[in-house]
């Protein structure tokens, strides 16, 4: 086959396909023409490969067909509207759909933390068996308070943000197994409860809550949400309901990804509060007020914005075009 003659005979079609691929919007007739040219050029590429596989021609046609395939399938672009849609629809809808999971998780963990703290307060051996008198004195006197001012504000905010984001991601990533999430939760609330009891036993209750509450309300809420999401993933394959087991699991995992990305922003806010507000010279009431306001904003975000998004049919899952075909289920 004379490759030059073959290229000359079909060059106009290749150039026309190149032109259509380069357009952002196509009319119905142009879309039909693009598909027709795509099929023709695919045949041309097959002929060139089999009869005269010139590398430059093969590479050009392969690239052209790849771009035409993307164009025929529809373009998706990331824009500010996508980001706005995530924070006004996808993320709050996922939080609202799972509200009873994370609200229940939060209430149970707070109850356990106070229970552990009360027991430790009545039985000081809980900490005296693990710490020397010098360590106890140091923790109560300087270490607990000094932890929040040991590093520069910006460095400390970044450190606690990455640490808390890691804990939240770990809760979601291990959620399919169930037990690791419970272990993370128990470890967290037991440590908080014992620390609170130790401070209260030495008449430092005001200092403890004055340092914990400004950032801890939002921070712990985010961790409880992540843990609840992980437990919901576990439950999705244990008790899938009317859906096939794998479909139920896939739905929860996709929604979990939305929650993970959204919680990164929530934990960033709590990290900023912990890095700049908690160790600041503001009065205790002012620091706690900032923490309470941040928590109220989150709750209102879920139950106002999230509820409205859920009413529009949003669940926190991907759009139907991204999910693909699903098996019909009853109920």
How much of the chain is helix, strand and coil, in % rounded to 5? 80, 0, 20
Q: How far apart are CA 219 and CA 278, in angstroms?
A: 13
The first and second tokens of residue 150, run together, are 């040991």
Residues with Cβ within 8 Å of 322's Cβ and at least 6 positions away in sequence, in order, are: none
Query: Measured at the alpha carbon of residue 97, what is the angle toward residues 95 and 100, in degrees to the nearest 5?
Result: 85
Name the nearest CA neighbour of 318 among 262, 232, 253: 253
Asked if 17 and 68 count as a contact pair (C-beta separation under 8 A), the reply is yes
Where are the chain's structural domains? 3-73, 81-323
Residues 257-271 have pLDDT tens digits of 889 899 999 999 999
As a dihedral over the C-alpha atoms of residue 254, residue 255, residue 261, residue 264, rounded to 10 degrees, the angle is -140
Residues 161-212 have pLDDT tens digits of 888 888 999 999 999 999 999 999 999 999 999 999 999 999 999 999 999 9
High-pLDDT (> 90) share of the chain, %: 47
- Higher-pLDDT residue of 84 and 290 is 290
**Phi-psi category of residue 258: left, alpha or beta, with phi > 0 → left and psi -120 to 50 → alpha:** alpha
Give the number of other Cβ atoms within 10 Å of residue 327's Cβ: 8
Name the nearest CA neighbour of 316 among 325, 307, 324: 307
- Higher-pLDDT residue of 264 and 55 is 264
pLDDT, average across residues 18-28: 80
pTM listed for this prediction: 0.74
- Higher-pLDDT residue of 246 and 289 is 289
3-state secondary structure of 130: coil
CA 318 to chain centre: 13
Q: How far apart are CA 300 and CA 253, in angstroms?
A: 25
Residues 311-321 have pLDDT tens digits of 998 888 755 44
Q: How far apart are CA 319 and CA 135, in angstroms?
A: 55
The first and second tokens of residue 202, run together, are 């030495």
């Amino acid at each position: 086959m004379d490759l030059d003659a073959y290229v000359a005979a079909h060059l106009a079609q290749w150039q026309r396909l190149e032109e259509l691929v380069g357009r952002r919007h196509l009319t119905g007739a142009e879309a039909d023409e693009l598909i027709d040219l795509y099929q023709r050029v695919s045949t041309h590429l097959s002929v060139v490969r089999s009869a005269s596989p010139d590398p430059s021609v093969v590479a050009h046609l392969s690239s052209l067909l790849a771009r035409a395939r993307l164009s025929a399938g529809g373009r998706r672009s990331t824009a500010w509207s996508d980001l706005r849609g995530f924070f006004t629809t996808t993320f709050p809808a996922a939080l609202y759909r799972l509200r009873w999971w994370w609200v229940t998780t939060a209430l149970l963990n707070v109850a356990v933390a106070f229970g552990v703290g009360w027991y430790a307060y009545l039985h000081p051996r809980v900490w005296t068996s693990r710490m020397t008198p010098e360590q106890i004195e140091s923790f109560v006197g300087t270490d607990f308070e000094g932890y929040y001012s040991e590093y520069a504000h910006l460095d400390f905010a970044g450190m606690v943000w990455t640490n808390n984001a890691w804990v939240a991601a770990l809760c979601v990533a291990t959620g399919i197994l169930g037990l690791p999430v419970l272990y993370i939760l128990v470890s967290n609330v037991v440590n908080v409860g014992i620390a609170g009891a130790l401070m209260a036993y030495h008449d430092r209750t005001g200092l403890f809550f004055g340092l914990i509450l400004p950032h801890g309300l939002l921070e712990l809420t985010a961790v409880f949400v992540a843990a609840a999401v992980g437990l919901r993933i576990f439950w999705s394959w244990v008790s899938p309901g009317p859906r096939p087991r794998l479909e139920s699991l896939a739905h929860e995992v996709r929604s979990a990804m939305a929650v993970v990305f959204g919680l990164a922003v929530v934990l960033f806010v709590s990290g900023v509060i912990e890095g700049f507000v908690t160790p600041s010279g503001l009065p205790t009431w002012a620091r706690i007020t900032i923490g309470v306001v941040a928590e109220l904003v989150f709750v209102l975000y879920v139950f106002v914005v999230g509820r409205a998004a859920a009413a529009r049919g949003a669940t926190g899952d991907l759009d139907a075009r991204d999910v693909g075909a699903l098996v019909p289920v009853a109920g």
